Structure 1
Amino acid sequence: MMPSRSNAAAGITKSKVKYSKLSNTDDGYIGIQFKKSPSKIPYKAISLATVLFLIGTLLIVIGSLLLTGYISPGGNERAIPVLIIGILVFLPGFYHLRIAYYAFQGYRGYSYDDIPDFDD
């Protein structure tokens, strides 16, 4: 049961809560409002970043092998697009995995809040 305030007009007191005057040095802030709650780990976003990182790495390796002629000679027409797509897929995966790793290790300035979460 929640205590209620006293009704001054009717003179009825139902509460045993003691009220006190605030000190003059109180600036209206309390320490708990500045504490940061622990952030939730975005597992879906980290798994997506891992998949993007692995696919991008695979495409960069295949594009490099095509470019050097190890897989098929004279494959510059196929190698350049594969390399470009590989780099475009690799970069966001690497970026988000790096943030997740630094947040996991507890580096200053890195948090799981920096990774976009896909949970609605």
Structure 2
Amino acid sequence: MAYVDHAFSISDEDIMMGDSSRTIENRPPIKEIAFAVSLLVFGSLAIVVGSIMAANRIGGDRAHGVFFAILGSVLFLPGFYYTRIAYYAYKGYKGFSFDNIPAV
């Protein structure tokens, strides 16, 4: 018979017998969501402006436009990711919670 250490296992009974005074709050974190939306908006604007700058050689050459487009994508990606999590948590999709958004 194999030895099994049950010191670190969590069963359903442990979860049900936990602190009943602790409440689960699934309130939307306003600051974090506003930050994610602003990253999304400014990233989108920087991608569009950078693409226009690169196409029309504004600033002397294409390098400035490419830089703005790369900067926009760096802003856009986390903004899109956390805005999507906030939207799905708001709609109540399974597996999404406002707890998945890190604090600022």
TM-score by length of 2: 0.74
The answer as to 2:28 corresponding to 1:41 is yes
Whole-angstrom distance in 2 between the partners of 1:115 and 1:67 = 34
Q: Which amino acid aligns with 2:71?
A: I
Per-residue deviation, residues 60-113 of structure 1 (Å, max 9, x unmatched) = 0001111221x7396312111101100001111111000000000111100000
Check whether the contact 2:58–2:65 (CA below 8 A) recurs between aligned residues. no
Whole-angstrom distance in 2 between the partners of 1:28 and 1:56 = 47
The answer as to 2:95 corresponding to 1:106 is no
Look up the match of 2:4: none
Query: Identity, % of aligned pairs?
Result: 38
Give the number of aligned pairs. Answer: 91
What 5-or-longer segments of structure 2 have no aligned partner?
Answer: 1-11
Whole-angstrom distance in 2 between the partners of 1:110 and 1:34 = 24
| RMSD of aligned residue pairs (Cα, Å) | 2.8
Whole-angstrom distance in 1 between the partners of 2:58 and 2:15 = 68
Q: CA deviation at 1:30?
A: 7.2
The answer as to 2:66 corresponding to 1:66 is no
Q: CA deviation at 1:28?
A: 5.6
Counterpart among 45, 69, 78 of residue 83 in structure 1: 69
What 5-or-longer segments of structure 1 have no aligned partner?
Answer: 1-26
TM-score by length of 1: 0.65
